[in-house]
């Protein structure tokens, strides 16, 4: 008789990433393919981070600093928080899993999150296992904080709030968040996932999670998006020292590699690259939004580095037609939004390429 795998693990849905360029080229026989599916930085990493990683290559035979001392210090200094409130992880996905490990025991514990939102929140609950409580977004596809507060029960352990939310790009604002926090019991952990926060700071009412730190609040951020370091997996959390200590106890040794650690320090020094990234994103997002709305489709208000467009019909055929045009986007059929496409903001040339491909696809549908 074979070993028995836990049923809750077998019930998990494997994460569905954006299609790699090489796969699409090989499958469809295309040479010129662009990828606007995974919310990557179209400018790439900071040149300063690239140089730091090159300099560190000769040291990759050595184990990395187990507690990422220099990276932690750089993050703490950059944010103006104590170093003992910072922990660096192998991407924020690792930290989400570790949060589940230290706070969730088993059923009847509950984890609450918006629906749809980042899939790994549900995974953290399922692995425990405990009950996952999805709270539908409002009509504008924003996290409904009032509905989230009403979903809290004596069994609630963790609430995950992505702001901006992925896959919608929408945000909740200060007044609603402060009213929400006034209703959350101190025993409930509130995880503020701010992976896209650099793109949302243009809104004067966007709540910076660091302003709301307290013993039950954890802030997650990443270097994958605005800093362009998705390929080396670098995220971090800011929380009370007691939480940081508990996470560090269960985190794998040497979780953050040498290159990631030096890249973090360098990227934080390159304000010019960050500002250029934000400017390129803002211009591309506006151009893409205008083009989609000119076709009569709804584009949800986005404060991230992608847009969500409702094509008012099952989006999978549109997704597949765009693939044949050499443009990879994210189909809403895998995101819980079957009539939508999520499109990452690329360079100006890539944005134009998407707009033209989308126009060709929609015109072909009309003719057929």
> Domain boundaries in the chain?
7-43+272-367, 47-270
Provide the residue-wise pLDDT of the chain in tens; the chain has 368 residues: 889 998 888 888 887 788 899 999 999 999 999 999 999 999 999 999 999 999 999 999 999 999 999 999 999 999 999 999 999 999 999 999 999 999 999 889 999 999 999 999 999 999 999 999 999 999 999 999 999 999 999 999 999 999 999 999 999 999 999 999 999 999 999 999 999 999 999 999 999 999 999 999 999 999 999 999 999 999 999 999 999 999 999 999 999 999 999 999 999 999 999 999 999 999 999 999 999 999 999 999 999 999 999 999 999 999 999 999 999 999 999 999 999 999 999 999 999 999 999 999 999 877 77
User: Do 7-43+272-367 and 47-270 agree at the fold level?
Assistant: no
Q: Which CATH number fits domain 7-43+272-367: 3.40.640.10, 3.30.70.141, 3.40.1190.20, 3.90.1150.10?
A: 3.90.1150.10
Q: What is the fold, at CATH topology level, of the domain defined by 47-270?
A: 3.40.640
Four-point Cα dihedral 271, 272, 278, 284, nearest 10: -170
| Cα–chain center distance at 349 | 24
Spatial CA neighbour of 237 closest among 98, 54, 357: 98
Instruction: Render pLDDT for 252-299 as a digit per residue (tens, 0 to 9).
Output: 999 999 999 999 999 999 999 999 999 999 999 999 999 999 999 999
Instruction: Render pLDDT for 271-283 as a digit per residue (tens, 0 to 9).
Output: 999 999 999 999 9
End-to-end CA distance of the chain: 55
Peptide bond into 38 cis (omega under 30): no
**Cα(197)–Cα(202) distance, rounded to whole angstroms?**
10
Answer yes or no: are the C-beta atoms of 212 and 34 closer than 8 Å: no
Q: What is the DSSP string of 67-100?
A: T-HHHHHHHHHHHT--GGGEEEESHHHHHHHHHH
């Amino acid at each position: 008789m074979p070993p028995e795998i836990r049923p809750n693990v077998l019930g998990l849905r494997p994460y569905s990433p954006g299609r790699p360029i090489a796969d699409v080229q090989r499958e469809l026989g295309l040479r010129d393919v662009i990828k606007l599916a995974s919310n990557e930085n179209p400018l790439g990493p900071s040149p300063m981070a690239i140089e730091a990683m090159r300099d560190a290559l000769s040291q990759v035979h050595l184990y990395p600093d187990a507690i990422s001392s220099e990276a932690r210090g750089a993050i703490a200094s950059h944010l103006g928080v104590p170093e003992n409130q910072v922990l660096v992880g192998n991407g924020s996905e690792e930290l989400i899993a570790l949060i589940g490990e230290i706070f969730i025991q088993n059923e009847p514990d509950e984890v609450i999150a918006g629906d749809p939102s980042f899939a790994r929140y549900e995974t953290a609950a399922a692995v425990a296992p405990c009950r996952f409580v999805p709270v539908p977004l409002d009509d504008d596809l924003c996290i409904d904080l009032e509905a989230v507060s009403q979903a809290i029960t004596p069994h609630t352990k963790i609430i995950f709030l992505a702001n901006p939310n992925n896959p919608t790009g929408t945000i909740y604002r200060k007044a609603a968040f402060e009213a929400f926090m006034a209703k959350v019991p101190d025993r409930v952990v509130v995880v503020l996932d701010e992976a896209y926060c650099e793109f949302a700071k243009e809104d004067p009412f966007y709540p910076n999670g660091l302003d709301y730190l307290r013993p039950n609040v954890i802030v997650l951020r990443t270097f994958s998006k605005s800093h362009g370091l998705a390929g080396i997996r670098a995220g971090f959390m800011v929380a009370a020292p007691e939480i940081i200590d508990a996470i560090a106890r269960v985190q794998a040794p040497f979780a953050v590699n040498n290159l990631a650690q030096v890249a973090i320090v360098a990227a934080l020094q390159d304000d010019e690259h960050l500002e250029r990234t934000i400017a390129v994103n803002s211009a591309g997002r506006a151009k893409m939004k205008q083009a989609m709305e000119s076709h009569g489709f709804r584009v949800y208000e986005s404060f991230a580095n992608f847009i969500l467009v409702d094509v008012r019909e099952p989006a999978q055929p549109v997704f597949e037609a765009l693939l044949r045009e050499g443009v990879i986007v994210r189909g809403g059929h895998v995101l819980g939004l079957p009539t939508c496409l999520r499109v990452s903001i690329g360079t100006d040339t890539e944005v134009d390429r998407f707009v033209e491909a989308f126009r060709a696809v929609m015109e072909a549908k009309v003719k057929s």
